[in-house]
Structure 1
Amino acid sequence: MEKQQFTITVFTENYSGLMSRVVSVFSRRHINIESLTTSQSSQPDIHRFTIVVQVTEEMVRKLVAQLEKQVDVLKAFYYTSEEVVYQEIALYKVPTHVFSNSENVEHLIRKHNARVLVIEPEFIVLEKTGHEHETTAFFHELEKIGIYEFVRSGRVAIVKPMERLNRYLQELEIEQTNT
């Protein structure tokens, strides 16, 4: 089987120490996590991990099954890149002097649909949202004129299929009322 990129969503209760248990599932299998983002989910009191990995489909199935065995993990799902809508955010700190008398920087910002967040005497902070290759391309162009700092978030993703967690929780509720 060929390796491909998968986005795994893990829904959990929000307890301390859970992050290390989730990450250990990947570490034990020597699988590199390419991106990891955590946040609240659309359900109250349920936390969401969004994890990007490059593995075979067989391996991602095993990972999801192992994740679901963890205490406090409610449910885990995996998706191909075609099944999710995703973005990343990147921030760039560039020297203020590169902006003085330079239309090139203005054109660069417009070309990459970036925006200026902060202007300070020594530096300017720019923001770019997009896919990894887009934020990296902007970084490489800024490297040519000077850059102090660069940081990129992990993937933030919404799945195209309706959220399976809601259906799963409804099924659990029905099971509990029937017993």
Structure 2
Amino acid sequence: MSEDIQSFTISIYTENNIGLLNRISAIFQRRHINIESLTTSQSEIDGVNRFVIVVNICEDTACKIVKQIEKQVETIKAYYHTEDETIFTESCMFKINSDLLFNEPQIQNIIKESYSRIVTVNKDFFVLEKSGRRNEIEALRRDLNSFGIMQFVRSGRIAVTKDEMKVSELLKAFDNQ
């Protein structure tokens, strides 16, 4: 296995139990691995949750971490994938002074060119939403920084694999219990 550091998306299918997040994050902490992004949500099967974790590590370490995560009682299955093997996106929101929307023509151009959308507008502020790759979100953030950003938040990565994940049969069996 390669020792080159690269970005991996780790997908973990689990039961929804209290304390599991702490145990999973401890696996990364013990190895001194920084989690770049972490998202949890319900999966395609009722009663099964999915963690999507992004880390920059070598493939050998990714393999070892997945095996260690699978030892957790509540873990149904865990996988790791390279960026080329996944389709992924992130979302963000910007809160910006409303005066800029009406008085600064360049803001209108930035919104249009970035394919972001206005979620809400009131007399004090407006909120922009943007989905895309992290570099697109960071470019929009740089463009808006010179005008002043009141608040900014970015989600973790959400991802699906390009190939079928063999977890489908396991999840169906879990769902039928």
Which TM-score applies when normalising by structure 1? 0.92
Shift of 1:4: 0.2
Shift of 1:169: 4.6
Q: How does 1:9-48 map to 2 (within 5 A)?
A: 9-48=11-50
Match of 2:117 in 1: 115
Q: How does 1:12-91 map to 2 (within 5 A)?
A: 12-91=14-93
User: For structure 2, which runs of at least 5 residues remain unmatched after alignment?
Assistant: none
Do the aligned residues in 2 keep the contact of 1:35 with 1:155 (CA within 8 Å)?
yes
Do the aligned residues in 2 keep the contact of 1:92 with 1:147 (CA within 8 Å)?
yes
Shift of 1:149: 0.8
What is the percent sequence identity of the aligned residues? Answer: 39
Do the aligned residues in 2 keep the contact of 1:95 with 1:148 (CA within 8 Å)?
yes
Do the aligned residues in 1 keep the contact of 2:45 with 2:172 (CA within 8 Å)?
no
Match of 2:103 in 1: 101
SS in 2 for 1:31: coil
Q: How does 1:140-151 map to 2 (within 5 A)?
A: 140-151=142-153
Match of 1:152 in 2: 154
Do the aligned residues in 1 keep the contact of 2:38 with 2:52 (CA within 8 Å)?
yes
- Match of 1:75, as an amino acid? K
The total of aligned residue pairs comes to: 173
User: For structure 1, which runs of at least 5 residues remain unmatched after alignment?
Assistant: 174-179
Which TM-score applies when normalising by structure 2? 0.93
Shift of 1:171: 8.2
- Match of 2:68, as an amino acid? Q
Shift of 1:102: 2.6
Do the aligned residues in 2 keep the contact of 1:6 with 1:55 (CA within 8 Å)?
yes
* Separation of aligned partners in 1, 2:38 and 2:117: 25
* Separation of aligned partners in 1, 2:150 and 2:18: 34
- Match of 1:91, as an amino acid? M
Shift of 1:86: 0.5
